Structure 1
C-alpha cells in the first residue's frame, strides 16, 4: 500500500513526457484529497482545499476528475488496490505439495494476512481513513463499494480458515465486522501503535476458537487446537 510521496514537478520546461506529467499531477491530487479529508472530513474538504494542497490549477483538476466525488472514488480505488495487493502477497501459499498432491498446512498464513492488513493501514493512515471513516459521508455508492471490500475480506478468511458451513461463514462475517470496527476506531483516534497491536490478540482469539471459524484453524506448530 505504501507508495513514494508524490513530488511537485519543476516549473517551466522540464522535458518530461506528458503521460508522466499527468500521472504525477493525478497522484498529487489523490494524496492531497486523502490528507485533507484526514484533517477536515469529507464534507469539510472542498476542491479548492485539494487544489491548494496538491499545487495544481482548477483546470488541471477538472481535466482528470469530474467532481470531488469522482476524485474520492479514484482515491478510494487507489487505497483499496494497494491494500489488496499487500494482502494477496501475504496470503500466497507455497506451491509444493506432498506425493498425494495435497499442499502442506500453512499455520502462519492467517498471521501474515492480519499483519499485512494492519501494517498496510498504518503505513498510509490518510488513505486508510478515507475508505474506513470518510466513506460513510461520501454517499451510498461509496458505502456499497466499502461493503464489497469487506465481503472480499470475508471470502479470504473463509478460505484460509476452512469455513465450510453456514455457521462458520457467519462467524467469519462477524470476525471481519469486528476487525473493521476496531481498526476504524484506532484510525479515528490516530492510534497507529494500537492499530498494529491488534495483530497478536486477534490471532490468538482465532487460534483458541476451535472450529468456530472453520476446520483449518491451526496452532503455530501445525496442529489443530
Structure 2
C-alpha cells in the first residue's frame, strides 16, 4: 500500500475531519498489509489495530466489523488501480504524427503496463482484490466481477470491438490475465507479473480481428 503518514503526537489543531480521514487511511492500509502475512481469515482486528496505531474504539467508530473494513479496503484498492489505468488509457499519441494502428497499440501497451506496474508496486493492494476477496463471500466476489467487467470494457474500447464474439474474446482475455496475475501475486512472483506485459501485447496483435477491429489486417494499411 502507498505509505500513510501518522498524525503528529499531542495537540496538533487539525480539523476533526482530517483526523478521522487519516485514521481511516491507516486502518485500511494496515488491513491490506496484515493480510499479506495472515490472509483474510487469519487477520484479526487486533492485528489491524497494532499496525494502524489506533484504538479499538476508533476502529469501531468507522467500521461495523472486520468484513466491513475489508469492503472499504477493497474499494480503496480498486479505486487506486482504476485511477492508474484510466490515466494511462487517457494518454494518446498525436494523431497528426502517428497512425491509428500505432495509437491503439500504444494505448493497449500503456494499459497493460499500468495494470501490471500497479500490482508490482502495491502488492498488498493487489492481494486484496486478486486473492483475499474470495475468502470474504459472495458480495465481495461479485464486486470483483464488476471490476473485471470495467477492465473488459476499457480493452474493448481500445480494440474497437464491434461484435458479441469479439466482446467474448476480450472477456476471455481479461479472465486469463486475471488468472495469471493472481497466481503470481499469491506466490510473490513480481518479476513474473512484469514479464507478462510483452507477451500479452503480442497476443493481442496476433489475435487480429479476434479481439476487435483495431488490429485486423486492413487497419494497418
- TM-score normalised by the chain length of structure 1: 0.90
After superposition, give the CA deviation of every residue in 1:87-138 in whole Å (9 maximum; x if it has no partner).
111111549768xxxx955130100000010011111100110111000001
Equivalent residue for 1:189, pick from 151, 175, 187: 187
Q: Write out aligned runs for 1:71-110 (5 A).
A: 71-94=69-92, 104-105=100-101, 106=103, 107-110=105-108
2:171 is aligned to 173
2:149 is aligned to 151
C-alpha RMSD of matched pairs (Å): 2.0
Equivalent residue for 1:63, pick from 58, 61, 64: 61
Pair 16,58 (structure 1): closer, same or farther in 2 beyond 3 Å? same
Structure 2 SS opposite 1:208: helix
Instruction: List gaps (5 residues or longer) in structure 1.
Output: none
User: In 2, distance between residues paired with 1:122 and 1:93?
Assistant: 21
Whether the 8 Å contact between 2:209 and 2:216 is mirrored in structure 1 is no
1:25 is aligned to 23
After superposition, give the CA deviation of every residue in 1:39-71 in whole Å (9 maximum; x if it has no partner).
101110111110111110000001111111111
CA positional deviation for 1:214: 0.7
User: In 2, distance between residues paired with 1:80 and 1:126?
Assistant: 12
Instruction: List gaps (5 residues or longer) in structure 2.
Output: none
Greater share of helix: 2
Number of residue pairs matched?
216
Structure 1 SS opposite 2:210: coil
| 2:199 pairs with 1:223 | no
CA positional deviation for 1:210: 1.7
Whether the 8 Å contact between 2:166 and 2:211 is mirrored in structure 1 is yes
User: In 2, distance between residues paired with 1:194 and 1:93?
Assistant: 26
CA positional deviation for 1:11: 2.7
Whether the 8 Å contact between 1:96 and 1:104 is mirrored in structure 2 is no
User: In 2, distance between residues paired with 1:159 and 1:58?
Assistant: 46
Whether the 8 Å contact between 2:92 and 2:107 is mirrored in structure 1 is no
